[in-house]
Every structure is written in structure tokens, then in C-alpha cells.
Amino acid sequence: MVGAPPPHAPQQTAAPAGGTTRAVDRGRSAAHPEQVRRSVEQAGATTALLASVDWLAEQPANRDVARQQYEFITYMYAGTEIAAQARSRLATLEQRSS
């Protein structure tokens, strides 16, 4: 298409009656589908990881391993909801061990 702006360039939309035009930034405001897919997969994987560690924590012989895994999750996913959950479960595990 000759004269067409690149796909990442803002596009002008038609002005509403009595209004002004506005720029629409196509491709920058929405997440790329591949990024969304990876994000969803990672969320599922971290939830499964946390469930696995919870299972270990229920078994007295595996609590040291569970403790290490909760610490790993809080380190690797710092600042996320999954890290907050792991930190909370680690605190509960520490209380059970006392």
C-alpha cells in the first residue's frame, strides 16, 4: 500500500460531529498475543509450582524442601502475587515447625 503509515504509527480517526480528531496508537497499547500467551502460561506454571510445594509442606519429612522452595519462589518472583503467597505460606510453615 503506497503512502500508508507504518503499523506502529498513530492513526487519525474521523472527527465526531462537532468534535475534533484524536490519534489512535495501534499496536502499542494492546499487549502482543504471544506476550499474553506466555504470561498466562507462566501464571499457570507458578500456580502449579506453589501447589506442589504446598503438597510437600504437608509432609513432615519434606518440610525442609518445601521451605527452600517457598524461599526460591519469593526470590524468583519478587514483587508478584505468587511471591506474596509463598512468603505467607513460608511463615505458616515456620509456625508449624516451632
Task: For the chain, report the end-to-end CA distance as a whole number of angstroms.
Answer: 71
**Is the residue at 18 inside a domain?**
no
Range of the domain at 91: 32-97
How high is the pLDDT of residue 35? 84
Lowest-pLDDT choice from 15-19, 37-41, 78-82: 15-19
Residue 24 lies in a domain: no
Q: Is residue 19 part of a domain?
A: no
| In a domain? residue 75 | yes
Cell digits of residue 45: 506454571
Length of the chain (residues):
98
* Complete DSSP assignment for 46-58: HHHHHHHHHHHHT
What sections of 1-98 are H helices per DSSP?
33-57, 63-76, 81-97
What does the longest C-alpha to C-alpha distance in the chain come to?
73
- Is residue 11 one of the residues assigned to a domain? no
- pLDDT tens digits for 39-68? 888 888 888 999 999 999 999 999 999 999
- The predicted model scores a pTM of 0.61
> Which amino acid, residue 95?
Q
